[in-house]
Amino acid sequence: MINLLNTQYKKVLIRTWRSEVMMNQRIIFGLADEFMKIQYYDEELWLKLAETSLQKKKINNTHDFKIIHAALSYLNETEETGLQGKFTE
Protein backbone atom coordinates (compact mmCIF):
# COMPACT_ATOMS: atom_id res chain seq x y z
CA MET A 1 0.00 0.00 0.00
CA ILE A 2 2.84 2.39 0.83
CA ASN A 3 4.36 1.77 -2.58
CA LEU A 4 1.03 2.54 -4.28
CA LEU A 5 0.66 5.70 -2.21
CA ASN A 6 4.12 6.88 -3.20
CA THR A 7 3.89 5.98 -6.88
CA GLN A 8 0.24 6.64 -7.77
CA TYR A 9 -2.13 7.85 -5.08
CA LYS A 10 -0.05 10.69 -3.63
CA LYS A 11 -0.15 12.56 -6.95
CA VAL A 12 -3.94 12.24 -7.08
CA LEU A 13 -4.34 13.30 -3.44
CA ILE A 14 -2.26 16.42 -3.94
CA ARG A 15 -3.96 17.31 -7.23
CA THR A 16 -7.47 16.96 -5.79
CA TRP A 17 -6.70 18.17 -2.27
CA ARG A 18 -8.62 21.43 -2.51
CA SER A 19 -11.82 19.95 -3.91
CA GLU A 20 -11.85 16.57 -2.17
CA VAL A 21 -10.09 16.95 1.16
CA MET A 22 -10.23 20.55 2.32
CA MET A 23 -14.00 20.67 2.39
CA ASN A 24 -14.55 17.39 4.21
CA GLN A 25 -13.31 16.93 7.77
CA ARG A 26 -14.18 13.24 7.68
CA ILE A 27 -11.67 12.67 4.87
CA ILE A 28 -8.95 14.60 6.70
CA PHE A 29 -9.31 12.52 9.84
CA GLY A 30 -9.84 9.30 7.88
CA LEU A 31 -6.60 9.82 5.99
CA ALA A 32 -4.71 10.51 9.20
CA ASP A 33 -6.14 7.39 10.81
CA GLU A 34 -5.32 5.16 7.83
CA PHE A 35 -1.84 6.63 7.38
CA MET A 36 -1.10 5.86 11.03
CA LYS A 37 -2.40 2.30 10.70
CA ILE A 38 -0.03 1.55 7.81
CA GLN A 39 2.79 3.67 9.25
CA TYR A 40 2.90 6.02 6.26
CA TYR A 41 4.94 9.06 7.20
CA ASP A 42 5.16 11.15 4.03
CA GLU A 43 6.15 14.64 5.14
CA GLU A 44 4.33 16.51 2.38
CA LEU A 45 0.98 14.80 3.00
CA TRP A 46 1.23 15.03 6.80
CA LEU A 47 2.02 18.74 6.61
CA LYS A 48 -1.00 19.23 4.33
CA LEU A 49 -3.18 17.28 6.78
CA ALA A 50 -1.98 19.42 9.68
CA GLU A 51 -2.40 22.71 7.79
CA THR A 52 -5.87 21.76 6.57
CA SER A 53 -6.94 20.71 10.07
CA LEU A 54 -5.80 24.04 11.49
CA GLN A 55 -7.72 25.99 8.84
CA LYS A 56 -11.04 24.56 9.96
CA LYS A 57 -13.20 27.08 11.81
CA LYS A 58 -14.85 24.50 14.05
CA ILE A 59 -14.59 20.88 15.09
CA ASN A 60 -17.60 18.86 13.98
CA ASN A 61 -16.67 15.69 15.84
CA THR A 62 -14.36 15.49 18.85
CA HIS A 63 -13.67 11.79 18.22
CA ASP A 64 -12.24 12.68 14.81
CA PHE A 65 -10.22 15.55 16.28
CA LYS A 66 -8.76 13.10 18.79
CA ILE A 67 -7.45 11.01 15.86
CA ILE A 68 -5.57 13.90 14.26
CA HIS A 69 -4.28 15.19 17.59
CA ALA A 70 -2.94 11.76 18.63
CA ALA A 71 -1.37 11.23 15.20
CA LEU A 72 0.34 14.62 15.08
CA SER A 73 1.54 14.27 18.67
CA TYR A 74 3.03 10.85 17.88
CA LEU A 75 4.70 12.09 14.69
CA ASN A 76 6.08 15.14 16.46
CA GLU A 77 7.59 13.10 19.28
CA THR A 78 8.88 10.01 17.43
CA GLU A 79 12.21 10.20 15.67
CA GLU A 80 11.60 7.13 13.48
CA THR A 81 8.79 8.88 11.61
CA GLY A 82 11.11 11.51 10.18
CA LEU A 83 8.67 14.19 11.34
CA GLN A 84 9.96 14.76 14.83
CA GLY A 85 9.62 18.42 15.77
CA LYS A 86 7.78 19.36 12.54
CA PHE A 87 4.57 20.33 14.30
CA THR A 88 4.50 23.27 16.65
CA GLU A 89 2.16 23.87 19.56
Q: What is the pLDDT, as a whole number, of residue 72?
A: 94
> Taking a C-beta distance cutoff of 8 angstroms, is the pair 56, 22 a contact?
no
Residue 89 has pLDDT above 80, yes or no: no
Residue 26 has pLDDT above 90, yes or no: no
Quick check: helix, strand or coil at residue 41?
A: coil
* Dihedral-angle region of residue 24 (phi above 0 means left; psi in -120 to 50 means alpha; beta otherwise): beta
Q: pTM to 2 decimals?
A: 0.89
Q: What is the pLDDT, as a whole number, of residue 61?
A: 81
Residue 65 has pLDDT above 90, yes or no: no
Long-range contacts of 14-19 (CB under 8 A, 24+ apart): 14/44, 14/45, 14/48, 17/48, 17/52
Per-residue model confidence as pLDDT tens digits over 31-54: 999 999 999 999 999 999 999 988
> What mean pLDDT, rounded, does the chain reach?
91
Q: How far apart are CA 64 and CA 4, in angstroms?
A: 25
